[in-house]
A and B are shown apart, each in its own frame.
Chain A
């Protein structure tokens, strides 16, 4: 598994409403351009929402790591 130097980790496991997506958006606002963030989510809806939002907002989805009971999204703030 690739090791990432993550600046902000958002643990949104067990969160449904308003949801991990919003936690990620909040973290992106705080991050510096070029920094990596990770989002931990056990919510299935996140699998659609996060890649779609990153595409629209023009940030980079570096990798989705499927773990036992949750997924880990590695995201780069691009601008």
Chain B
């Protein structure tokens, strides 16, 4: 009996576990998902959730409800990966051996590096707790300056801060306090988005909606006593409400096990998804160092490659399937509009039209239905 252990049960881990379980008819394998959480969250909804208070159950699902019956879910985490002996030290005190390991541990939000989120006017929308706090802060906001900025790259869902600026503009207009408010969007580049064609569209919409763009602002620190954000270029900007995307790094188990790069991301072959220097370990999703976005779409498009390569190895064949980096990305420009980008390792992001189609704009929101019904379950 050979063990395929999937470490981390976010979207990537659940998807890969289900794909392997569905595609392999072998009776000599066991598939184990190591994940302490009981529920999976549809994280793209945090962006919209900042502005409303939908019950959490509207965008979460019990993991065991979407997991293939062949997959054993261990409700624990790992503290160390012993690659020499192919063993995981689990936080429940036990050990778990593997023949093949899939690392899908996601990222750790380094809130303590910022050291200001305890203030009631510094927030983000990258976790349930943080988004709930932001909801309160927005509800209590009655005018002033809202500053939106990434801290470092990479961070999950590259368009998210751009989108937040659009949505907060809409929110303030709805509350009739837009004229008493200033929205400033700070970005590390010369334009408000890395892709020039998208940046041009974003800038036009920002101009139209009165959102101020501050170029080349690379976050350095928050002066929380004086409500100022300071850049490495030496600029200081005052805020009444700061929405700062927290720094992202790899999880402690990756760093402790010596499997991460400088920031704890797993060096991964961009084509086979095998961890560099480790024949029987693969990695997928936000925890990798792949030169593509950290997003569920990348996980979705790369999962078939990873699952196929493990299945090939089980048959004693070469893991020859290659991921070409293809992915898509929606950039929401209002509650009803969005742009679609698509790109791969071989070509830079291209914009797909249809920005003005109402139904198209709803796609990012409606996507959670497909996510829970099909993607998580490994059907697509």
Contacts and interface: CB of A to CB of B under 8 A. Distances in A.
Interface of A: 14-19, 21-22, 25-26, 29, 43, 45, 48-49, 52-53, 56-58
Contacts of A18: 153-154, 158, 194
B292 interface: yes
B232 A21 contact: no
B153 A22 contact: yes
A17 B158 contact: yes
A16 B190 contact: no
Contact of B194 (A16, A25, A26, A52): A16
B190 A25 contact: no
Interface in B175-232: 188-190, 194-196, 216, 218, 232
A58 B234 CA distance: 10
Question: Which of B291, B293, B343 lies at the interface centre, i.e. has the most chain A CB atoms within 10 A of its CB?
Answer: B291
A45 B195 CA distance: 9
- Please classify how large the interface on chain B is, using the bins under 10, 10 to 19, 20 to 34, 35 or more: 20 to 34
B136 interface: no
Nearest to A50: B190
Contact of B232 (A15, A19, A29, A49): A29
B194 A53 contact: no
Given A56-B216, A57-B232, A26 B190 contact: no
Given A16-B343, A43-B348, A57-B232, A48 B190 contact: yes
Nearest to A48: B190
Given A26-B152, A57-B218, 9 more contacts: A14-B345, A16-B291, A17-B292, A18-B154, A25-B188, A25-B218, A48-B190, A53-B216, A57-B216
A45 B343 CA distance: 16
B47 to A, nearest CB: 18
A61 to B, nearest CB: 15
B343 A17 contact: yes
B64 interface: no
A29 B158 CA distance: 21
B158 A49 contact: no
A23 to B, nearest CB: 9
Question: Which of A18, A22, A45 lies at the interface centre, i.e. has the most chain B CB atoms within 10 A of its CB?
Answer: A18
Interface in B253-296: 291-293
Contacts of B348: 16-17, 43
B10 interface: no
Interface in B286-341: 291-293
B196 A26 contact: no
B38 interface: no
B190 A15 contact: no
B260 to A, nearest CB: 15
B190 A49 contact: yes
B203 to A, nearest CB: 15
Contact of A16 (B154, B218, B349): B349
B157 to A, nearest CB: 12
Given A25-B188, A25-B218, A26-B152, A17 B194 contact: yes
Contacts of B343: 16-17
Contacts of A16: 194-195, 291, 343, 348-349
6 contacts: A17-B158, A17-B195, A17-B349, A18-B153, A22-B153, A45-B194
B103 to A, nearest CB: 22
Interface string B345-373: 10011000000000000000000000000
Closest 5 CB pairs of A and B: A16-B348, A15-B291, A22-B153, A18-B153, A57-B233
